């Protein structure tokens, strides 16, 4: 069972999302909130027991981006998926840079929302790599960032392309466990929450390019 919390300032939207997700057999909505500050309290209250947080972008008191920025700093924080009623590129890029695991539109159907929840709960990301490729303009020309081994750099380039561990292992002629070790090292060096976060930080720093 995937434990989910939903945060949105519109009562109708909140009720609708809760009803839609509550009808999915492997998803349970364990909590709801109506602003970013309440979302932070909610995550602290369910520390370690919350898998995914669906977080609205625009809310009173504290918006979703500020809440996400504070939430993702906690190592035990759930995967954060940002929600909006429109496709706003600036919000999407900033959310990914903060370490959000994905970004979905509120108009998404139940199947799409459920798939997004399952995807991030498994440690993957949504809207990557094609959408990020369109949004991330030319990377910085000055290389900066953590020191990577040659193999880690090749793995990082594969993450930017959106390759799965199986594809990376085949390309490098190593085992999937070895790839997992390299990915873990890359995430630790970047202080990244997930593969997408590491890829976005690497593109920002100019360490890799498309």
pLDDT at 154 over 60: yes
Residues 42 and 104 in one domain: yes
* Residue 73 belongs to domain spanning: 2-127
Helix, strand, coil percent content, the chain, rounded in steps of 5? 50, 15, 35
Residues 196 and 118 in one domain: no
Model confidence, pTM: 0.75
Contact 44, 70 (CB under 8 A): no
Q: Confirm whether 93 is domain-assigned.
A: yes
Residues 119 and 144 in one domain: no
Q: What is the pLDDT of residues 156-176, one digit of tens each?
A: 999 888 788 999 999 999 999
Residues 154 and 121 in one domain: no
Residues 113 and 22 in one domain: yes
Residues 103 and 51 in one domain: yes
* CA atoms 87, 120, 126, 204: torsion sign: positive
Q: Which residue has the tokens 């976060």?
A: 197
Q: Which candidate, 97, 159, 106, 152, places its Cα nearest to that of 128?
A: 159
Residues 18 and 105 in one domain: yes
Residues 184 and 95 in one domain: no
| Total domains in the fold of the chain | 2
Q: The domain that contains 78 carries what CATH number?
A: 3.40.50.2300
Residues 151 and 178 in one domain: yes
Q: What is the pLDDT of residues 45-98, one digit of tens each?
A: 998 899 999 999 888 889 899 999 899 888 788 999 998 876 666 777 788 888
Q: Confirm whether 107 is domain-assigned.
A: yes
Q: Which candidate, 103, 23, 127, places its Cα nearest to that of 55?
A: 103
Residues 13 and 116 in one domain: yes
Contact 163, 131 (CB under 8 A): no
Strand, coil or helix: 59: coil
C-alpha count within 13 angstroms, C-beta hemisphere, residue 164? 3
Residues 77 and 166 in one domain: no
pLDDT score recorded for residue 139:
47
pLDDT at 137 over 60: no
- Pick the last residue of a domain from 127, 156, 172: 127
- Pick the last residue of a domain from 100, 127, 154: 127
Q: What is the pLDDT of residues 183-210, one digit of tens each?
A: 999 999 998 888 888 888 888 788 877 6
């Amino acid at each position: 069972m995937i434990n989910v919390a939903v945060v949105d300032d519109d009562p109708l939207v909140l009720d609708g999302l809760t009803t839609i997700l509550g009808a999915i057999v492997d998803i349970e909505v364990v909590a709801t909130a109506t602003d970013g500050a309440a979302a932070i309290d909610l995550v602290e209250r369910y520390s370690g027991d919350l898998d995914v947080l669906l977080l609205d972008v625009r809310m009173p008191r504290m918006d979703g981006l500020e809440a996400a920025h504070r939430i993702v700093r906690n190592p035990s924080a759930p995967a954060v998926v940002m929600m909006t009623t429109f496709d706003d590129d600036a919000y999407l890029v900033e959310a990914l840079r903060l370490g959000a695991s994905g970004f979905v539109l509120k108009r998404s159907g139940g199947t799409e929302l459920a798939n997004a929840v399952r995807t991030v709960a498994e440690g993957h990301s949504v809207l990557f790599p094609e959408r990020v490729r369109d949004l991330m303009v030319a990377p910085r020309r000055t290389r900066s960032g953590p020191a990577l081994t040659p193999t880690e750099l090749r793995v990082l380039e594969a993450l930017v392309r959106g390759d799965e561990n199986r594809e990376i292992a085949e390309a490098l002629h190593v085992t999937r466990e070895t790839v997992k070790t390299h990915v873990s090292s890359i995430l630790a060096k970047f202080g990244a929450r997930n593969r997408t976060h590491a890829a976005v930080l690497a593109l920002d720093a100019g360490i890799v390019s498309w």
